[in-house]
Chains A and B, each alone.
Chain A
Amino acid sequence: MSILGEKVKKIRSKNAGPFWITIDIFCGSEEVYNNVCLNLNNSKIANLLMINIKDLKRFEIDKLNVIKFSFPRNITQGHIFDRDMHGAQLAILLSEMDF
């Protein structure tokens, strides 16, 4: 078993305004992209991020070999219980997941 971060070129996560987070997985090649599209299902991502699967938006962008996930933040950016103001560390969580 290897991890997703070793398979793909780059994963980044960032706020999309104070109420949303967006995660971009740059696969680097069509082959990896097809593999990730096929094997990375939404329930796996929703479980990892502890979010409701209904709130998870998934975009498969063939032209760029990118898979993008967007979802509303569980905690609004900058709320006293927010731990990561820019949401950038969630990418690491995806990067370290078994794949």
Chain B
Amino acid sequence: MKSTKVLVPSGVLGLGFDLKALNTGIKNKPDIIAIDGGSTDSGPFSLGSGTSKYSRDAVRSEWKSLMKARNKAKIPLIIGSCGTCGTDSMVDWMEEITIELAKELNQNLKIAKLYCEQKRDYIKVNYKNSRITSLNPAPDLNVSLIDEMTHIVALAGAEQIQECLKTGADIILAGRTTDTAIISALPLMNGSDPGASWHGAKIAECGALCSSNPTSGVVLVEFDQIGFTVEAMSENAFCTPDTVAAHMLYENADPYILLEPGGYMDVTNAFYSSINNRKVRVQGANWHTSKKYNVKLEGARVYGYQTSLLVILRENFYVKNAMQWTEKLSSFLKKEIKLRMKLNASDYSLDFRHIGINSTLGDLEKSERIPVEVGVLCIVTSKRNKISTEIAKLINPFLLHFPLTTNEELPTFAFPYSPVHSDRGCVYEFSLNHLLELNNPMDAFQIKVSEV
């Protein structure tokens, strides 16, 4: 059996990669180019709004390099989790970019699109039929909460990607997929060892993050019936048993187990050895097929509408007493908001963060060094649009002038810009950490093929 070589240009489209290393990768005659396009790592906004975290121009310019490389090598090019969140609209967005570039580069292409977005009614029926189970920890779930979700996606695994590969498409634009499935699908289909296929996919999912030089991006993974070999493509990047094994820990709560649709991978018995200073051989991971075929669900719903304000305290007295100042200011503001806007405390939230004191760690902060200045970030969130802006405007003069003591001259603090309030619009929250059981892997997914 022939081995299967997968070229991974970087951890995500939009982050950049070394073009020379990509070229070296193509010279190594890969069978497929696979890149991830998404993550939940930047928070719920992308999924909630169905938009990309990265700029269209950044995505377009990198996709152009990959389309050129694909055309040279005449192999399939696949992207998973299009537009960060992998909603249907983001698959179409990626197709639009691909069609523009196909015209520009004068390429004739067969495109397969994998749609992973779920209709709320479909999820409700499955919920009622107990086909949805909670992972730990899971947010509360009921029918009305499902109705509030703006987007729900199911994470595709190797089976759905393989269906796309079988169409013979030059380019596959997949909605939400697991980071690993876009890499493991082809080696699995070609008969490589299942444990090695998933393990190699996990190691390469962030590109050169498994090497000594993460920003170089490009890695090549060669899969066979026993194990896999991983090599960084940049001249300045090296893969060692330690850099490779360490990646198994990355963003993974359990360093030995990786859950995937249809089963799990266990690397307890895996061993890593150096072939030369750039290449690592790995064997020994095991794949366990589960009885049920489950896919993971991700969903986001509107939490509210947000406006923020930032004021900076520079005077030593206020810097030293910043916490006390905001405590006093906060209770004063709550009274004013009730009096003037007729709003109860449960209608909105007022959150103060002290930049310079404990804004990143909150109550966990141990250090008590006195800073030069303190930025007080005031975050207003309410359930109704425009209310947050009105609260922020009510707060504005007090944030600027509120005195800590009764007998002092009215202080004036620093507003860094005008207007001092910034409307942040709609904010979302992740509202699913659940599994959906399927009879057939394609039940919750759709493939559309087109030619340009």
Q: Are B40 and A77 in contact (CB under 8 A)?
A: yes
Q: Are A64 and B246 touching (Cβ within 8 A)?
A: yes
- Whether B366 pairs with A96 at a CB distance below 8 angstroms is yes
Contact of A80 among B246, B359, B361, B379 (CB under 8 A): B379
- The answer to whether A64 and B430 touch across the interface, beta carbons within 8 angstroms, is no
Q: Does B381 contact A (CB under 8 A)?
A: yes
State the majority secondary structure of interface residues on B: loop
Given contact pairs A72-B136, A81-B351, A85-B43, A18 touches B253 in the complex (Cβ within 8 A): no
> Which residues in A have their C-beta under 8 angstroms from that of B367?
96
Chain A residues closer than 8 Å to B252, beta-carbon distance:
16, 22
Q: Is B428 an interface residue (CB 8 A)?
A: yes
- B306, B353, B433, most chain A CB atoms within 10 A: B433
Give bound CA distance, A24 to B379, whole Å.
32
Q: Is the CB of A80 within 8 A of B427?
A: yes
Report the minimum CB–CB distance from B204 to chain A (whole Å): 18
B44: chain A residues within 8 A (beta carbon) = 18, 77-78
B371 in the interface, Cβ–Cβ < 8 Å?
no
Interface residues on B, range: 35 or more
Contact B246 A26 (CB under 8 A): yes
Residues in A neighbouring B351, C-beta threshold 8 A: 80-81
Is B251 a contact partner of A22 (Cβ separation < 8 A)?
yes
Q: How far is the CA of A83 from the CA of B430 in the complex (A)?
A: 15
CA distance A28 to B253 in the complex (A): 21
* Number of A-B residue pairs with CB-CB distance less than 8 Å in the complex they form: 104
CA distance in complex: A72, B135 (Å): 11
Q: In the complex the two chains form, what is the Cα distance from A20 to B331 in whole Å?
A: 34
In Å, the complex CA distance between A21 and B2 comes to 40
Q: Judging by beta carbons under 8 Å apart, are A78 and B45 in contact? A: yes
Q: Which of A18, A64, A83 has the most CB of B within 10 A?
A: A18
Q: Tell whether, in the assembled complex, residue B361 and residue A17 are in contact, meaning their CB atoms are under 8 Å apart.
A: no
A10-24 contacts to B, CB under 8 A, are 14-20, 22, 24
Min Cβ gap B265→A in Å is 15
- Selected contact of B361 from candidates A57, A68, A78, A93, CB within 8 Å: A93
A86 contacts the other chain (CB 8 A):
yes
Cross-interface CB contact of B353 among A16, A66, A83, cutoff 8 Å: A83
Per-residue 0/1 for A49-72: is the Cβ within 8 Å of any B Cβ (1 yes, 0 no)?
Answer: 110000001010101101010101
How far apart are the CA atoms of A26 and B247 in the complex, in Å?
A: 12
A57 touches B253 (CB 8 A): yes
Find chain A residues with CB under 8 A from B353 CB.
83
Residue of A nearest to B138 (CB): A19
Q: Is the CB of B137 within 8 A of A15?
A: no
A90 to B381, alpha carbons, bound, how many Å? 26
Interface residues of A, Cβ cutoff 8 Å to B:
14-20, 22, 24, 26, 48-50, 57, 59, 61, 63-64, 66, 68, 70, 72, 76-86, 89-90, 93, 96-97
Using CB atoms and an 8 Å cutoff, list the residues of chain B in contact with chain A.
40-45, 135-139, 242, 245-246, 249-256, 303-304, 306, 349, 351, 353, 359-367, 379, 381, 427-430, 433
